């Protein structure tokens, strides 16, 4: 019963700056109170992790719709008859994985996605973890002088160098699985955004999709971007999720990065991802 779900659900922080795990919940019977607690936890901790869920694709979609409108992915193969579900997969005979570098999803969109809901379907016997980093904690750690400078700047984002016909994936064994080679993306966002729910400041650049600062060349941008990325990648700002079939993570795409470890060659990993639409950044 719904009220029992609320009474039993518990939250446990995964790491000091990022990540919270909910236990004793069944996402198929989630009452409004526990859902509200999960929404608050996502805003505060960036990633919410839940294990041992039995969700059909339809139930995964229904859970995602509680968070907002679904953004259909342009690039990843869809799951069977469910265009809302993007498959993130690596077969036994593939070397390259999807999302194997630090990134945040959809920063190349004019209105980037709010977040994603990733459900593990098949996992390797070991490895295949996902790392998450808090870009709010990374921003907080900077000097007041650096923060003030960054608040005046904007950055250009695109995914074309990754997904186009001659992009990075086209040269790998994931190339044939991906689509959207003709899609063109270009967006300019503030380098420092405010979280729409908490108002907390967030460093909003990422190694995969940020090309350069607005009005700066790529060569001029690179040293400062590299410095900021080194700060954001510090262990202290990270948490690590270890998956098994039925594990599910919901992450806030504005305040976090993630990186899928590619350390399970010879084994299959299949994840179902649904992405939730966001709102304009400021």
Residue ranges binding ligand SIN (CB under 6 A): 88, 98-99, 105, 116, 118, 130, 258, 260, 271, 273
Nearest approach in angstroms of CB 130 to ligand SIN is: 4
Catalytic residue among 71, 105, 177, 252: 105
Both tokens assigned to 213: 């600062």
Task: Let me know if 103 is a catalytic residue.
Answer: yes
Task: Let me know if 105 is a catalytic residue.
Answer: yes
**Choice between 231 and 270, CB closer to ligand SIN:** 270
**CA dihedral for 47, 52, 57, 61, sign (positive or negative):** negative
Nearest approach in angstroms of CB 73 to ligand SIN is: 9
Measured CA to CA, the distance from residue 14 to residue 188 in angstroms comes to 33
**Choice between 47 and 142, CB closer to ligand SIN:** 47
* 82, 187 Cβ separation under 8 angstroms: no
Tracing tokens 């959809």 back to the chain, one arrives at 106
**Choice between 130 and 210, CB closer to ligand SIN:** 130
Nearest approach in angstroms of CB 48 to ligand SIN is: 15
Both tokens assigned to 152: 């005046």
Residue nearest to ligand SIN (CB): 99
Catalytic residue among 60, 89, 103, 189: 103
As to burial, measured by CB atoms within 10 angstroms (0-12 exposed, 13-18 middle, 19+ buried), residue 145 is exposed
Nearest approach in angstroms of CB 99 to ligand SIN is: 2
**Choice between 19 and 190, CB closer to ligand SIN:** 19
Task: Let me know if 26 is a catalytic residue.
Answer: no
Nearest approach in angstroms of CB 219 to ligand SIN is: 28
Catalytic residue among 89, 157, 258, 269: 258
Task: Let me know if 200 is a catalytic residue.
Answer: no
**Choice between 212 and 258, CB closer to ligand SIN:** 258
Nearest approach in angstroms of CB 259 to ligand SIN is: 8
For 109, phi then psi, to 5°, come to -90, 150
**Choice between 201 and 272, CB closer to ligand SIN:** 272
Active site residues: 103, 105, 258, 273
């Amino acid at each position: 019963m719904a009220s029992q779900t609320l009474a039993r659900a518990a939250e446990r922080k995964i790491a000091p700056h990022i990540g919270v795990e909910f236990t004793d919940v069944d996402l198929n019977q989630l009452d409004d109170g526990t859902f509200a607690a999960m929404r608050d936890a996502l805003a505060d901790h960036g990633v919410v992790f839940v294990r041992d869920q039995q969700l059909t694709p339809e139930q995964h979609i229904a859970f995602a719709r509680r968070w907002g409108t679904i953004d259909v992915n342009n690039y990843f193969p869809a799951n069977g008859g469910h265009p809302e579900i993007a498959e993130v997969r690596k077969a036994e005979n593939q070397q390259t994985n999807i999302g194997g570098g630090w990134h945040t999803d959809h920063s190349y969109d004019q209105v980037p996605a709010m977040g994603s809901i990733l459900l593990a379907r098949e996992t390797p016997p070991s490895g295949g973890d996902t790392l998450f980093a808090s870009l709010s904690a990374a921003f907080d750690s900077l000097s007041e002088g650096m923060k003030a400078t960054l608040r005046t700047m904007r950055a250009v984002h695109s995914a074309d160098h990754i997904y186009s016909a001659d992009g990075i994936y086209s040269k790998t064994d994931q190339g044939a699985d991906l689509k959207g080679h003709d899609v063109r993306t270009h967006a300019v966002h503030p380098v420092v955004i405010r979280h729409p729910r908490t108002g907390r400041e967030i460093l909003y650049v990422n190694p995969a999709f940020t090309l350069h600062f607005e009005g700066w060349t790529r060569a001029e941008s690179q040293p400062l971007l590299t410095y900021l990325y080194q700060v954001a990648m510090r262990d202290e700002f990270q948490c690590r999720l270890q998956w098994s079939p039925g594990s599910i993570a919901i992450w806030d795409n504005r305040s976090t990065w993630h990186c899928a470890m590619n350390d399970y060659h010879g084994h299959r990993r299949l994840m179902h991802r649904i992405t939730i639409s966001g709102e304009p950044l400021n």
